[in-house]
Every structure is written in structure tokens, then in C-alpha cells.
Amino acid sequence: MAMGFTLLSIDAVDDAYSDYEPTRATRAISEFVQEILSNWYVRLSRRRFWKGEYQEDKISAYQTLFECLLTISKLMAPVAPFYADRLYLDLCKATGFESDQSVHLADFPTADKATRNVVMEERMSKARTIASLALSLRKKEQIKVRQPLQKIMIPVRNQEEREAILAVEELILSEINVKELELLDDASDILVKEVKPNFKTLGPRFGKNMRFVATAIQGLDENQLKTLEAQEEIELVIEGEKVMLSSADVDIQSKDIEGWLVANSNGITVALDIQLNEELKEEGIARELINRIQNLRKDAGFEVTDKIILYLTPHNSLNAALNNNLEYIKAETLTLEIHILDEIKEGVLIEFDDVITSILIKEH
């Protein structure tokens, strides 16, 4: 996935340099590094980097990261010559992969189209869009990502889109911390859509007749909206003349439904169930506790593989979360024993949500 987007970045940056547009080139590099490589690939591959033996999967993860960084060093060389050279030389010194004495003596990268996996790129793009929409809804409602939610619903327009989303279902659910994903073939009975004219595109095209077009757009029925979404264009008769409208001429939104939040982007609609039962709340507390324990492990200088003994002071909400998520907490924090004590003299006071407890960890 990362390599596919790297190839796209090579083309974008090369085109920008050819047009003498260094700012556009720099933005393309920045977007790839931040959004694709850092926020997506590296973050999602963390377990591949540090868990398990140095075998095929881990080697592949590191090699992909290396290829991306090496390519970035060459792409950025014209606009960040000194840092690019340092990055390139460090990568080559550690691996002996290339023998050029400077990035400025190396060949500029070219995109090998034969190595692209377009299907995978499209699936990952959908996964990123869905995750972004769901996370934006969480932020809107101030629901932490560590708080599990029960379900997300996504309308699909055809079998191809269904298969694309199902192929990355596990990734989506993990990324947004939701239990279930339901794909809807026909969401008309569940999600109510409304359409608004996009005056920015309509104005230049229709001028003084724009108000007639806007009225026609607002009068589109459910079947016409489906046609527009599926075919990305629709022909209407307005004031006796045939007019072709594209999906860019309208803004289609789905209304929120009780207990759910709805968002749209890039032709994708998601509906997120934001209702919390006790089981979900307890798992959310367990995840928050795990985060605090991991931070304490790090502050105490423990190795990633060190086993610990955990001491906690009791709290009503915490007690239930511990009892119902005990093995999960132990596995995630490498805890062999958990002890609940009324008082811990050397403990660290931890507060989150409505939970207050003292925590002490010791190496086993």
C-alpha cells in the first residue's frame, strides 16, 4: 500500500518540478510523509515492527519503510538539499543498498507502473475515507477513540464497492474501534438524504439561470439521487432544455438518525452508532487503564517484553471493568498478577473519566 502511494507521489512531484512549481512538489511530499507514511503505514504497522521474530512479515515492513524513505530523500533533494543528503547517506550507510556518495549524484526516482496494485490502493483509499469520517464523528461527539462503539453502517452502491470495503473490514474496525460493520444495499429506509446545490460550480456554468437549476436540484427524488451517485451524472430537463449535472454540482448529505451520527465524503456515507451500554463503557475504561499502565511502564524504563505485577486501589467503575476485561488487560500490559489494595503508599494517582485510582507496577 505504502509503495503504491509512493509511486503516485513520484509522478506528482516529478510533474511539479517539470512545471517549475517547487511549492506544489513540496506539498505533495509533505502530504505523503504525513498522511500516508506516518499517520497510516507506520502507525498501523507498529506491531509488525516490534512484535515477533525477525521473519518475513517484519522484514517486509522494514523494507517497505526503507524504500519509502530512500525515495523521499531523492524527491526532496532539490528543495531540501542538506537534509535529503543526510537522510540518503544514513540509509545507504546502514544497508549498503546504493553506492552513490551523495543523493545529488543518485538517479531521480521513476514510477514503475508494473509494480502498482491499483485494486489495493483503491481499497486503502476507501478505508482511509471511512476511518476519517468515523473519527470525525467521534471528535464531534467528544467520544474518545479508546471508547469502543458497537456498529458502523455504510451504504454501498454495487457489488464491487461491497467487496472493496469487506476486504479492509478488519482494518477499518480496528482503526475506528468499532465492533461491527454493516453494509447496506439499500439505505433509503434507514438513511434519509438531502441534496443542496453547489453554487461554486453552478454559477459559472448557468449564470442567471442558476436559480432554476438550483430549484431542480432541490427537487430531486430518491431514485434520481441514486442515479446521480451511481453514475456521477444525471440529465434533467430544466425550463425546456436538457441539462447534464455531475456529482460535483451537488452536495448530497445524509441526515442524522436517533442514536446515530452520519457523515459523507468522496461518495461514501457512514452512520456511526454512538449509544453506549455498560459492556462498552467497561471496555472503554479497560482501554484507558491499559494506556495509563503502558505509560507507567515506559516512564519506569521497562523493556517491551518485561512482565509486571500490578497494584491498584479500588473504584466502583474500575472494579467492574477489571472483572470483565481481566485477561485482555493482562495480555496487553504483560501483567502476570493484579492486586487490589485499599492503600498503595508508592502508587501514582491516575484519573480519567470518573475513575480515580492509584497504580503501582513492579517487575515480576
DSSP 249-269: GEEEEE---TTEEEEEETTEE
Same domain for 20 and 105: yes
Q: What pLDDT was estimated at residue 74?
A: 95
Average pLDDT over residues 47-57: 78
Same domain for 271 and 151: yes
Q: What pLDDT was estimated at residue 253?
A: 75
Q: pLDDT, tens digit, for every residue of 202-226?
A: 888 888 888 888 888 888 887 787 7
Same domain for 208 and 62: no
State the maximum Cα–Cα separation within the chain, in Å, rounded to a whole number.
Answer: 83
Helix, strand, coil percentages (3-state) for the chain, rounded to 5, are 55, 20, 25
Classify burial at 214, counting beta carbons within 10 Å of its beta carbon; exposed 0-12, middle 13-18, buried 19 or more.
buried
Same domain for 64 and 176: no
Domain end residue (candidates: 94, 115, 136): 115
Per the structure, the complete domain to which residue 356 belongs is given by 279-363
Q: Which amino acid is at 5?
A: F
* Nearest by Cα to 167 from 122, 134, 133: 122
Q: Name the least confident of 50-54, 135-139, 192-196, 244-248.
A: 50-54
CA-to-CA dists, residue 24 to 7, 74, 260, angstroms: 16, 16, 39
| Bigger pLDDT: 112 vs 2 | 112
Q: What pLDDT was estimated at residue 75?
A: 95
Same domain for 303 and 178: no
Task: Kindly indicate the confidence band of residue 282, based on its pLDDT and cuts at 50, 70 and 90.
Answer: very high
Same domain for 263 and 166: yes
Same domain for 217 and 180: no
Q: What pLDDT was estimated at residue 138?
A: 94
Indicate which CATH number applies to the domain containing 27. Answer: 1.10.730.10
Same domain for 122 and 102: no
| Bigger pLDDT: 229 vs 106 | 106
pLDDT at residue 2 is higher than 60: no
* Domain total in the chain: 4
Beta strands in the chain (DSSP E): 149-155, 178-184, 193-197, 233-238, 241-246, 250-254, 260-265, 268-273, 308-312, 335-340, 348-352, 355-363
Same domain for 84 and 55: yes
| Bigger pLDDT: 196 vs 134 | 134
Same domain for 222 and 207: yes
Q: What pLDDT was estimated at residue 151?
A: 95
Same domain for 269 and 327: no
Q: How far apart are CA 19 and CA 159, in angstroms?
A: 40
Average pLDDT over residues 146-156: 93
- CB count in 10 Å sphere of residue 34: 11
Q: What pLDDT was estimated at residue 305?
A: 81
pLDDT at residue 108 is higher than 80: yes
Q: What pLDDT was estimated at residue 5?
A: 65
Domain end residue (candidates: 275, 304, 320): 275
> Rounded to two decimals, what is the model's pTM?
0.75
Q: pLDDT, tens digit, for every residue of 291-328?
A: 999 999 999 898 878 899 999 999 888 888 999 999 99
Indicate which CATH number applies to the domain containing 222. Answer: 3.30.720.200
* Nearest by Cα to 154 from 183, 185, 186: 183
Average pLDDT over residues 21-41: 91
Summary mean pLDDT of the chain: 87
Indicate which CATH number applies to the domain containing 354. Answer: 3.30.2320
Q: Which three cell numbers stand for residue 138?
A: 467521534
| Bigger pLDDT: 73 vs 267 | 73
Q: Please, are residues 301 and 329 in contact by the beta-carbon 8 Å criterion?
A: no
Task: Kindly indicate the confidence band of residue 150, based on its pLDDT and cuts at 50, 70 and 90.
Answer: very high
Domain end residue (candidates: 85, 115, 145): 115
Q: Name the least confident of 59-73, 104-118, 326-340.
A: 104-118
Same domain for 182 and 140: yes
